[in-house]
A and B are shown apart, each in its own frame.
Chain A
């Protein structure tokens, strides 16, 4: 236990140090801080973009999802590659627009394309409100990891505090370059750990991967199919599609700095071509989740199964390395999310005048956002956990606005787009909190998106009719 604890805190400090080393001198302006001066090559871009795929969900959530829902967890594998198809074809256009107009955030993009500061602000507020719970999820995940391996709640809380302090320190100092520096370490250690786990866990508990699945086919055949129940075919397809739409249309604010930081669009396109191969790593924690079906009682906490099996199958120092990898998947995405949130507040919500003021407001937001997520994670974990239900469904309502803005000519005005967003969000919030079973297992995000598109289309037609009639009235 002591060895694991030493590895844990050494890992947290190491990640913080690597982040600080990402930059020699502090960034001079917000553009340099948010998008690294738009000078990142293919390799850095690769790790930044891959970093968005592998979060605490990869380590804790995915194995747990297999444990509770069997092969239905496979919905998480195809949605990112599917989204990359659209981004592959749009990469050049998005990058060019960002470069020509100096966009740093999603709010900048929408405000510029629709010539509407209001739309930029609304999209930024939606981004901050729905992504803050995602930040808290990473921080809470960090504490959960440490608590699970040490069995000590105080160590979990302490790790959350130290982890947050170090993330804030390296984000303030190094910005996106700090995220890039830590991403190399995170992906390297994560791949090594996952490779060890998919061999060690099935061998230890079932004699190997193949014999493990043969036993599951015999004892728990339902875990190998998608069948009626809470994770049925409708759940699988609609959740896969809403997640793919969210990624493809860049609705999560923290994905923008990575894309805008590319030196040239070729690097982006090359990454979108090969990143689907990298997402195959998601199969590794899934395999560990299947081992848990054979070994652990059904009542076990699903989030902790990967670490529980690691502790049983591996020596304590290797478990320590597993914990460091898991902590990295919490700290590095937290840093990226903080950059996404703070740049939205500084550029699209507060709208202060002067570059220096904007820069300091941005840095203040980093401290406040991380502090808020930490405090809520420690004292009121359920509060933001409810909002987390809305993170993907809520941000996906920005997809029509972004999608139309990707076109060469924006075909509709800001009013129909805003109306669509408002109605889509209202439907998603209502269904999530007051009528979650109204559409069965159909994703509430997809229902909201349907309502969003209908309102947008009707309002766009009405707008055109109004404009045509106004044009017909002769001037007096």
Chain B
């Protein structure tokens, strides 16, 4: 297990656990949208960012 394997774990956990987070699984809105949608969508974006970061770190580790 390398450090770059750990980056995507945070967004994955955030998405799997979203129905158990009381401030997300509520009928209140963020930006006029259901909080579950904003939370899930936001972490999808951050997942891409974390994979991009992982790719950069992997690129540094393995000389091309």
Interface residues of B in 9-60 (CB under 8 A from A): 11-12, 15-16, 18-20, 25-29, 31-37, 40-41, 43-45, 47-48, 51-52, 54-55
**Would B44 and A277 count as touching, CB distance under 8 A?**
yes
**Would A273 and B29 count as touching, CB distance under 8 A?**
no
How many Å lie between the Cα of A213 and that of B35 in the bound state? 11
Q: Is the interface of B mostly helix, strand, loop or mixed?
A: helix
Contact partners of A82 in chain B: CB under 8 A: 12, 15-16, 47
| Given A82-B12, A226-B25: A213 and B40 interface contact (C-beta under 8 Å) | no
For A270, the closest partner residue in chain B by CB is B55
**Would A77 and B44 count as touching, CB distance under 8 A?**
yes
**Would A88 and B51 count as touching, CB distance under 8 A?**
yes
**Would B37 and A283 count as touching, CB distance under 8 A?**
yes
How many Å lie between the Cα of A286 and that of B33 in the bound state? 11
**Would A276 and B47 count as touching, CB distance under 8 A?**
yes
A154: interface (CB < 8 Å): no
How many Å lie between the Cα of A211 and that of B5 in the bound state? 41
**Would B5 and A276 count as touching, CB distance under 8 A?**
no
A214: interface (CB < 8 Å): yes
How many Å lie between the Cα of A225 and that of B34 in the bound state? 9
Query: B residues within 8 Å of A by Cβ?
Result: 5, 8, 11-12, 15-16, 18-20, 25-29, 31-37, 40-41, 43-45, 47-48, 51-52, 54-55
The 6 lowest CB-CB distance pairs between A and B, nearest first, are A210-B32, A221-B27, A78-B15, A224-B27, A273-B51, A226-B19
**Would A273 and B52 count as touching, CB distance under 8 A?**
yes
Query: How far, in Å, is B22 (CB) from chain A's closest CB?
Result: 10
Contact partners of A210 in chain B: CB under 8 A: 31-33
**Would B44 and A224 count as touching, CB distance under 8 A?**
no
**Would A71 and B36 count as touching, CB distance under 8 A?**
yes
**Would B28 and A283 count as touching, CB distance under 8 A?**
no
Contact partners of B32 in chain A: CB under 8 A: 209-211, 213-214
| Given A85-B47, A214-B29, A217-B29: A240 and B16 interface contact (C-beta under 8 Å) | yes
Contact partners of B29 in chain A: CB under 8 A: 213-214, 217, 224
A272: interface (CB < 8 Å): yes
Residue from A85, A214, A279 whose CB has the most chain B CB atoms within 10 Å = A85
A237: interface (CB < 8 Å): yes
| Given A82-B12, A237-B16: A225 and B26 interface contact (C-beta under 8 Å) | yes
A19: interface (CB < 8 Å): no
How many Å lie between the Cα of A283 and that of B32 in the bound state? 14
**Would B51 and A213 count as touching, CB distance under 8 A?**
no
A233: interface (CB < 8 Å): yes
For B28, the closest partner residue in chain A by CB is A217
A74: interface (CB < 8 Å): yes
Contact partners of A269 in chain B: CB under 8 A: 55
Name 13 A/B residue pairs within 8 A (Cβ), A-sorted. A78-B44, A81-B15, A81-B47, A84-B51, A89-B5, A224-B26, A224-B27, A233-B19, A273-B51, A273-B55, A276-B48, A279-B44, A283-B41
